[in-house]
Amino acid sequence: MKILLSLFLAGLAISVHAQDNFGIVFNQINTDVQGHSKAYGTLKFATETIGHRLTGSANGARAEEYAFNLFKSYGYDVRYQPFEVESWSRITNETKIGDLAALKTVPSVALAHSPVKSFVSGALVDLGNGLENDYLKDAGQVKGKIALVYLGVLPGSPEGTASLHRSEKTAIAIQHGAVGIIIINGVKGGVLLTGTASVTGKLISIPAVCIGLEDGMQIKEQLKSKLQYASLNMANFSGMIKARNVIATIKGSSLPEEKILVGGHLDSWDLATGAIDNGIGSFAVMDMARSFSALNLKTKRTVEFILFMGEEQGLLGSKAYIAQAEKKQELGKVKFMLNYDMTNDPKGFATSRVEMKESFTNWGSQIAKLDTGFKNIFVAGAWLHSDHQPFMLEGIPTGGGVGGELPNHSGQFYHSDGDSFKLVDEQGLKNTVRYSAMLTYALANTPSIPVGIQPDDQLKAFLRANKLEEPLRIAGEWKWKD
């Protein structure tokens, strides 16, 4: 009994000692980032000198080089991970809506992966939220016509109505025979949103556009009493080009074959400079790397800081990472993937694996001692449409920051021409860097991570429990046949 008690107390002492060690390093990270962070300045410089960071464009290539050189300046072993991507960019677009004899031009923006050249016209059919049930109520009347759908969930919809991504709503419209789709943005002030309308990252068969809230709701009202028509006329570019993920590596000391990935997408859409989506995420990742180097932090596990390209066009960079790791039979080395996409001023940590609660809240309690603004929130669950998704679908644990709010009401300018540097909050960005660097350090140095890659049957049940089967089936990414 005494031996068992001694072993227990020794183990407890080791555990407390490890926690104290994390606390010491957490304090070092906190001091460094608060006093020396470069994330705000480097993001400001990039938005001013590079502009947008569209994958496949000259600006995109400049962003890749900028990130590579920045990592190098911090003393890292850096590499490009090249991949081929089907690039898409807009050329011309005109949307007209109204009475058949008097169509009027409505401000619009083409959604990515719309056809290279398209001109369609037809009656407009209001499909509400654009969900499968809306089409079933329509009884097939949208076939050969143009669907009008709301981007999110319409006010007044039944409680609990779930939304789908714009690409999934477009896929449903195609399945039901629509020849075009017009999506109404939910933001006041005529803000136009872009983004992909493709669930695969490949060209879709119908033109897809976004119009402003006020125009869209007015058209919906007119449709209640009178038939409305629309014409969609656009030209776009699409072609295979090369893009590059940028990866900076810290080699692990005692567990070098185990990897912790810390990623965020560097690319942005072309309507603005992408300061919020995803400058605040990707430049935070680069500054985490800077802090690790400045403090000469050592890790038991290998850490890779990854800037993905092609996220906006279908998670292409993260899918390329997965494909190349599988080819080398190295995917099993990835023990955890942390993703930072529009993360700002987190108040806690989120993860796909509820089993991480004890570890995450333990580390979070140490962070809260340094800053009471960190509330040690813990969220476990699963969601789609960012670079964590391909890893999660392989059963790899994922996570990141949670609980913060976007700065300066910037959410309304998501994927729009209003996404500019003036929206960025310097302290919120610093908070992302310091808390996330602490989480990264803890994951890279904890004696053991209590979760592994989910076996196929567990992964299937997990995705179903998180209500992801329907969107994954729509996207063609549900790999089970039953």
pLDDT in tens, 421-451: 999 999 999 999 999 999 999 999 999 999 9
Q: Rounded CA gap, 167 and 111, in Å?
A: 9
The full set of domains in the chain, from first to last, is 25-86+240-474 (3.40.630.10), 89-235 (3.50.30.30)
What are residue 164's phi and psi, to 5 degrees? Answer: -130, 160
pTM above threshold 0.85: yes
Query: Residues 96-124: pLDDT tens digits?
Result: 999 988 999 999 999 999 999 999 999 99
Note the Cα 34 to chain centre separation in Å.
Answer: 26
Query: Residues 243-261: pLDDT tens digits?
Result: 999 999 999 999 999 999 9
Q: Which three-class secondary structure state does DSSP give residue 401? A: strand
Average pLDDT, the chain: 94
Residue in this structure with the two tokens 């919120």, named with its chain if needed: 428
- Preceding omega of 408 cis (within 30 degrees of 0): no
Q: Rounded CA gap, 349 and 339, in Å?
A: 11
Q: Rounded CA gap, 251 and 291, in Å?
A: 16
The confidence score (pLDDT) of residue 21 equals 63
Name the least confident of 12-16, 211-215, 397-401, 455-459: 12-16
